[in-house]
A and B are shown apart, each in its own frame.
Chain A
Amino acid sequence: MRTRILVRLAVLLSLGGFATAAMAASADDFKAAAAKAEAAMKQANALKNQWTTTVDAMKAAKKAADAGKFDEAVKHAHEAEALANASVAQAKEQATAWHDAVVH
């Protein structure tokens, strides 16, 4: 009985510790994530193919960071980076793929 309680307590404490470690994003973590997102967005801008959802994700990231919610900010920054990369991939693919749609 006592062993069972101790084991359960250990599991709970370890879960709490794991959760705390996973959520412990810092301002520096956000800066790094934002820099990567902004680099990808710069590429998308150069190709004149920025998505509105990318811009929204980055705005949400900055808003969360301003409020000190760095775990949320990092999550949104990663999302912005992924969306920007997808828009760059789209532009690169379409550079040749558009020909298939031409009326002839």
Chain B
Amino acid sequence: MLRKTLIAVAIVVGAAQPLLAANDVDPQADAKAFKEYFTKRFPKVPVNDFVNGPYSMDEGLRKQWESIDAFPPYDFAIEKGKQMFATPFKNGKTYADCFPNKGIGIRQNYPYFDTKSGQVISLEFAVNQCREANGEKPLDYSKDDMAAVTAYMAFTSRGKPFDIKIPNDPRALAAYARGKEYFYTRRGQLNFSCASCHVQNPGQRIRTEVLAPAYGITAALPIYRSAWNGMGTTTRRLRTCNSQVRGVPLPGGDEVYRDLEYFLSYMSNGLPISGPGTRP
């Protein structure tokens, strides 16, 4: 009798563990606190302007950006992306066959949690899933064609507010929690976390660069970056950040990066897509 009781208690406690863990994660409360932190710290910045990163923090930089944006350097990427969208794969299918609404005006929904495969799907990951499903080689995650396709998709979503969903699935909550942990964890020999720069020091300079606020930071991606003399994707930005703090970057498409993007984009829910963007 005692043995059966103990087993029953163990089963109940064991079953309760995932619920207890899920209750510890509160993305809505996190997002509310995140927004309040930045809007209180920068009360003069209009909420939607946070998506402009360092340009929302520095008037001089903003003026430079406005003059550059008269002839946007990412235009060529949008054109190339549009062309890639229109060009069939070898099997006759196109990118439009892989995405809702034929891939137009959907960027604000990425990343999303795929309950079938139990993982976060970023836009870049989805592009490569589409290619591989249609017999094509995956693209380099960092630049060139991946930047072009995602630039075009972002452009078709300009102005649409981020609408990242976390379904009622403990795996989705766990992915969100992993992304949050990564964001706040110090790494690399220089011992910086993402938060070190983008929560504790937005608007400050690191060497010559003005740091962007984390609130809205994924909205402008992919970006044309003057420092790169070219386009770069979300993956490129994350990998560069890793190496800049002397941490070995992860491979493109790594689950960790997708979870991080999931967390960051959820924090930016309601902010408008501004990509593709320009950065110093």
Residues of A within 8 A of B (CB): 48-53, 55, 83, 86-87, 90-91, 94, 97-99, 101-104
Contact = CB atoms under 8 A, between A and B. Distances in A.
Contacts of B196: 101
Nearest to B34: A103
Interface of B: 30, 33-34, 37, 180-181, 184-189, 191, 193, 195-196, 199-200, 243, 246-248, 250, 256
Contact of B246 (A48, A52, A91): A52
Q: Tell me if B's interface is mostly helix, strand, loop or mixed.
A: mixed
Given A52-B247, A94-B186, A99-B184, 7 more contacts: A51-B246, A55-B248, A90-B191, A98-B181, A101-B195, A101-B199, A103-B30
A15 to B, nearest CB: 36
B193 A101 contact: yes
Nearest to A56: B246
Contacts of B243: 52
A99 B199 CA distance: 14
Given A98-B193, A102-B184, A51 B33 contact: no
A52 B244 CA distance: 9
A56 to B, nearest CB: 9
B193 A103 contact: no
Contact of A103 (B199, B248, B256): B199
